[in-house]
Amino acid sequence: MSDTPSLPSSGREWHLKSRPVGVPKPEDFDLVESTIRPPGPGQLVVRNEYLSVDPYMRGRMSAAKSYAAPFELGKVMDGGAVGKVLVSHADGIAPGDHVLHFGGWREYATIDAKQAVVVDPDAAPLSAYLGVLGMPGLTAYAGLLRTAGFKKGDIVFVSGAAGAVGSQVGQLAKLMGASRVIGSAGSDEKVRLLLDEYGFDAAFNYKSGPVAEQLRAAAPDGIDVYFDNVGGDHLEAAIGELRRDGRIAICGMISVYNNTEAAPGPRNLARLIQTRGRIQGFLVGDHYDLQPQFVEQVGPWIASGRLKYRETVVDGIENTVDAFLGLLRGDNTGKMVVKL
């Protein structure tokens, strides 16, 4: 147990001021100065160094019932973060250690030590524990292998392929023996990144023409696996190109998160009967049993540079909402993080 005299009395944190209707607006959020809560037994005070902003957070801004409790109005939001321990009232974690935890969207977090994982800043950049070595990385791994049942030789299509999850899905598929990997992204620059740096076999800008036509050209023999981060016209196009016993893993549907009315479903679901295909949604929280296997298999690929990653870093807690709104627009390449 240890205290430090340098602990400040207050810090800034983001509160949800109003529930967004459609696209969130800056005025839906408040940056406030709050007193830092002293730690109790088994607790830590952490000075956050990097915060994560993620698409799923848009759903938590709604009061609708979902798999995670909604953010409360007038209270601090939370999310993935990594930072330095200033005060520890817990065995096994000392001041000066760095931890990964879920008390983000604030400068200082008082958390239960059992909800923190010690990470090594010398083994990888701290921000990597929010992306390629963190929840997005495990999402890619579990979704591809377990939910989509990836097999060597599969033809794989990934939407949102330049994002934190999609970029890893495509690279993992290639490293594990996919016969062809296709990605979609929202700019010509991102398409070049997929082809030149991440090693995709084909890629297209979904803003350049109908997704169905571009996918058909990129996958003339059809697809075995579709990893869906987008939904909408991408999902319909993937169903149209699915081969016998094809599998679709639904990770996210960022194209519909800001809709105020229900989006129309794919018009070609009957094709699943012909292809004997299946669609399955998944949440990474159901697959943390794969974490040791994920680190063991993927860690060396990251360390050797065989699996590459990009980050979009926004400086300053005051710019967290701007980073989140940019994420929803697709401004990021790879994982979007905020550096404090």
pLDDT, residue 93, reads 96
The pLDDT assigned to 265 comes to 76
Give the Cα separation of 149 and 159 in Å (integer).
17
Chain segment 267-322, per-residue pLDDT in tens: 999 999 999 999 999 999 899 899 889 988 998 898 899 999 999 999 999 999 99
Q: Is residue 294 part of a domain?
A: no
Q: How confident is the model at residue 253 (pLDDT cuts 50, 70, 90)?
A: confident
The pLDDT value recorded for residue 98 is 96
Q: Domain range for residue 29? A: 10-131+310-339
pLDDT at 65: 79
d(CA 69, CA 45): 24
With tokens 């909800």, the residue in question is 115
pLDDT at 262 over 70: no
Task: Note whether 66 and 172 are same-domain residues.
Answer: no
Q: Does some domain include residue 118?
A: yes
Q: Looking at the structure, tell me whether residues 107 and 169 fall in a common domain.
A: no
pLDDT tens per residue, range 36-65: 999 999 999 999 999 999 988 998 999 887
The Cα-based distances of 221 to 71, 93, 159, 217, 238 in angstroms read 45, 53, 18, 9, 12
How confident is the model at residue 124, as a pLDDT? 84
Question: According to the model, what pLDDT value does residue 6 have?
Answer: 67
Per cent of the chain over pLDDT 90 is 80
**171 with 109, same domain?**
no
pLDDT value for 122: 85
Q: Are 305 and 329 in contact (CB under 8 A)?
A: no
Instruction: Work out the pLDDT band at 340, boundaries 50, 70, 90.
Output: very high
- pLDDT of the residue at 3: 46
Residues 216 and 267 placed together within one structural domain of the fold: yes
Same domain membership, residue 146 and residue 15: no
Domains identified in the chain, total number: 2
pLDDT at 1: 44
**Per-residue pLDDT tens for 126-177?**
999 999 988 999 999 999 999 999 999 999 999 999 999 999 999 999 999 9
What pLDDT was estimated at residue 60? 93
> pLDDT tens digits for 66-102?
778 899 999 999 999 999 999 999 999 999 999 999 9
Amino acid at 139: T
Q: Are 33 and 102 in contact (CB under 8 A)?
A: no
Q: Are residues 170 and 193 part of one domain?
A: yes
Give me the pLDDT at residue 260, please: 60
CATH number at 122 reads 3.90.180.10
pLDDT at 295: 83
Q: Look up residue 117 and give its amino acid.
A: V
Q: Residue 271: CB partners within 8 Å, gap ≥ 6?
A: 239, 240, 242, 277
- Residue 2: its pLDDT value, please? 45
Same domain, 169 and 263: yes
- Both tokens of 110, joined, read 């008082």
